[in-house]
Amino acid sequence: MSNIILEIDNVQKSFGGLKALSDLNLKIEEGKVHAIIGPNGAGKSTMLNVCIGQLAPDSGTVTFNGENMIGKAPHEINQAGISRVFQTPEIFPDLSLLQNVMIPAFAKHEGAFKMNIFRSLSNEHNIQDEACQILEDIGLIGQLHSIAGSLSRGDKRRLELAMCLVQHPKLLLLDEPTAGMARHDTNKTIDLLMKIKEGGMTKIIIEHDMHVVFSVADHISVLAQGTIIASGTPDEIRGNPKVQEAYLGGAHL
């Protein structure tokens, strides 16, 4: 049994009368790819939002690497080692691809604030090399100096993934990394995810595409109505009647 890197303990969150998360408990093992699946509105994204400090839960705790993350600012949580790929790509549309990736790399190396007014960006060779390496891996190196806003949606997603990977986070949260991608691009993303899997980075991946889920996940949890209804290896989940009910004709479909 390896280390538990992230522990979500009894987290509750409601929006008005709607209970988005109720008694959510989840343990993520270090070095594993953990997929979260569940029908629309199950609270998957809300869960990630709580993890990165975007939302404060009504009650419960989120412990990362033995440290309580509740009440911390988003940048502190990122500095602690959690990066997130959003459902709609959050990139810097006005900057070049290279700059888009260099900025997270700076955050990793220099921390939350550094006033280096008299250093020249073009002299930051280490950061540049690092950014180029990631862009190479992700297949966007040819557009190094294009403006990120001009990329296609699929490329924006991959760029955002590159921005997270360059930080070498301890935990990477992926919110539907292949949504809206063509099959070809999806396969490329799967390959990429498999590649970074070898690096031992812990990942939580939210995904609707079962092909992706069963290709990359070590462990799957099923979220429905704000709580985990099943958890196990891909094979266990595939045969679980509760999951089949939630997905294929449960009360709330």
> Given the rule CB under 8 A, which of 20-28, 123-131, 203-211, 221-229 is the region that contacts another protein?
123-131
Cβ pair 159, 89 in contact under 8 A: yes
Distance CA 9, CA 27 (A): 8
Cβ pair 97, 144 in contact under 8 A: yes
> Given the rule CB under 8 A, which of 121-129, 203-211, 230-238, 239-247 is the region that contacts another protein?
121-129
* Binding flag, residue 242, another protein (CB under 8 A): no
Cβ neighbors of 232 (< 8 A, separation 6 or more) are: 219, 220, 240
Q: How far apart, in Å, are the Cα atoms of 191 and each of 54, 171, 219?
A: 30, 19, 18
* Binding flag, residue 114, another protein (CB under 8 A): yes
* One character per residue 57-96, x = contact with another protein (rule: CB under 8 A): ----------------xxx--xx---xx-----xxxxxxx
CA-closest candidate to residue 159, choices 214, 210, 89: 89
Where is 53: in which H helix or E strand?
A: none
Binder among 6, 26, 52, 172 for another protein (CB under 8 A): 52
Q: In angstroms, what is the minimal distance from the CB of 235 to another protein? A: 34
> Given the rule CB under 8 A, which of 27-35, 115-123, 180-188, 232-240 is the region that contacts another protein?
115-123
**Helix or strand or coil: residue 99?**
helix
Site residues for another protein, 125-144, by CB under 8 A, read: 125, 127-129, 132-133, 135-136, 141-144
Binder among 15, 16, 66, 117 for another protein (CB under 8 A): 117
Cβ neighbors of 73 (< 8 A, separation 6 or more) are: 53
> Which C-beta is closer to another protein: that of 4 or that of 144?
144
Rounded to the nearest angstrom, the gap between the alpha carbon of residue 238 and the centroid of all alpha carbons in its chain is: 23
User: What is the contact surface with another protein in residues (CB under 8 A)?
Assistant: 52, 54, 73-75, 78-79, 83-84, 90-96, 98-99, 102-104, 106-108, 110-125, 127-129, 132-133, 135-136, 141-147, 163, 167
